[in-house]
Amino acid sequence: MSRRSLTLLVAGFLTLVLAVVGAVLPVPYVVLSPGPTENTIGDVKGKPVISISGRQTYPADGRLNLVTVAYQGGPGNRLDLITALRGWLDPTVAVVPEDSLFPRTSTAQQVEEENTQEMTDSQQFAIAAALSELKIPVQKTITVVSADKGAPADGRLKPGDEITAVDGSAVGEVDAVAAAVQRHTPGEQVRFTVKRGSATTDVTVGTDKGKDGKAVVGVRMRSAFRFPFPVNISVGDVGGPSAGLMFSLGIYDKLTPGSITGGKSVAGTGTVDPEGNVGPIGGIEQKMVGARNDGATVFLTPAENCADAVRSVPRGLRLVKVETLDGAIKALDALRTGSGDVPSCPAG
């Protein structure tokens, strides 16, 4: 065999080895790509994304699309080197370090559970924000999530309990419950009034000394809401909090005459809190690509994401800067009527 042939044979063999190694060698990165969109005033598999009963609703035209990011990699599904390299060459996707999205100690199950809880909270906040925008009263509640094992609350306060009062005084915020407990000296008892199913009962719980020396009962709580009529949101296998703004707009549109889109295809993203404040999200570049691919011409952009958005906005997509739910509604009204200011993301 000639030296040239031998060199080519060795080079080919090494290339094959590198290709095989690259196909199986895991790397600590995640590939983000444009995910599917869903019309919050439309249907998914024949079922409305938002369904409202016990209150008059109105037909809505156009589209109010929530946008998503698909990802490869993460806990339990490490990315291989070749997939990562392909991602670095594709301008529509991003390759980011795994630990920038997932804590090193997270398992795949923990990530899924966290995404599901964030979506649940996002939907609750979105409903509260939309109804508050419409001046429809919303009652905030405090719900027990869990009690720490071995803590005074263990076996006394149960998941799903709604705390309405502490020591006979009504409470409406999680912080108010904690403050009421901390007014006690460690070792004293605290009287909780809770709704458990259809019954209301008083539950007496002892206290321990916390790390800061203050009284604690060892209970985890979260804010929830009681709405005056049922509002259900169903989007299938979508997690995380970033669809909050679009849920709120979809609810608002269904509860008001006319159409806030004016028949346009509008997409957007952003978290929303119960007061209607819009917060930033991740994956803005991929979400814009997904929105434009699905026909959107307007993209509602959280103000804090504007700087990143303007650097990679797809052709034909207009960025509208939003800071609040009320501001988003007014911007869409200005777009529909052709009057008034439409806030835009500044061009750098």
Q: Which residues are catalytic?
A: 242, 287
Q: Are 33 and 69 in contact (CB under 8 A)?
A: yes
CA proximity to 221, closest of 260, 178, 279: 178
Neighbours of 126 (CB within 10 A): 31
Q: What are phi and psi of 267, to 5 degrees?
A: -125, 165
Determine the residue type at 169.
S
Integer Cα distance of 331 and 16 in angstroms: 56
Residues 6+ apart with CB under 8 A from 254: 41, 50, 52, 57, 58, 60
Q: What is the CA radius of gyration of the chain?
A: 25
Q: Are 248 and 327 in contact (CB under 8 A)?
A: no
Burial 190-208 (b: 16+ CB within 10 A, else e): bebbbeeeeeeeebebbbe
Question: Which phi-psi region, left, alpha or beta, contains residue 54 (left: φ > 0; alpha: ψ -120 to 50)?
Answer: left
Integer Cα distance of 102 and 29 in angstroms: 10
